[in-house]
Structure 1
Amino acid sequence: MSATPDKFMVVGDDGVPRGIVELADLQANATRLMYEMAAVAGNDAELDRIGMEWTARTDPDDFGYTTAAALSLMTRHILAPLLDVLDEVMPKAGFRAKLAESRDEAERNLGGGR
């Protein structure tokens, strides 16, 4: 298996290059965005402000990659450990099962999409 490259090229559906992504920058920005948002969880106005700020200062393609990476990081490094603690402290609450139920319900009701 080869190592992850330091840089990679993004191409459009037509094969035309759209840009180059520096992996270290992407990871750093995703980590910043993750913690900025996690730190204000529950404050929707502040979450909106952060989202708008990042949207304004980031190229649209970069923003997509950054937010996707931030979501993955938040799930791995914030949500998963939180669920582990909740499972240990309140094992009968079934938080993971409730999340799966919510996912399934959303999928039934959203329509369209993927």
Structure 2
Amino acid sequence: MTDFKGLVDQYLALWNEPDPAARSAGIADLFVEDATYTDPLADVGGHAGIGAVISGAREMFPGLRFAPTGDVDGHHDVVRFGWQLVPPAGGEAVAVGFDVAGLADDGRIRAVYGFLDKVPG
């Protein structure tokens, strides 16, 4: 049985990782080589594309961190989870959304589909 919560924790840790080399290594560990990431603002494939999206978000929102919201829900090879982008000291979330990820046979992520419920104005 897949540890969906552990997978989501690892995924969000990548978005919060400040070191580009550690982030790249984490992407290689968590995603299959030809994985895709799609949300209203991005549609990329491969480790480099996913890394570029994460780097772009970190540059756009320096100092903020991604935190989980609600319960992680998964079955078979699919997991869904909520997240928010928050200041390190707490306070109101700048962005809120949820992602749905499809997993490959080896348990790594093959596709992420992101949805944005709240975006910065």
TM over 0.5: no
Structure with bigger helix share is: 1
Q: TM-score, normalised by structure 2?
A: 0.29
Identify the structure with the greater strand proportion: 2
Larger RCO: Structure 1 or Structure 2 (Cα < 8 Å, ≥ 6 residues apart)? 2
Given the two structures, how large is their TM-score scaled by the length of structure 1? Answer: 0.30
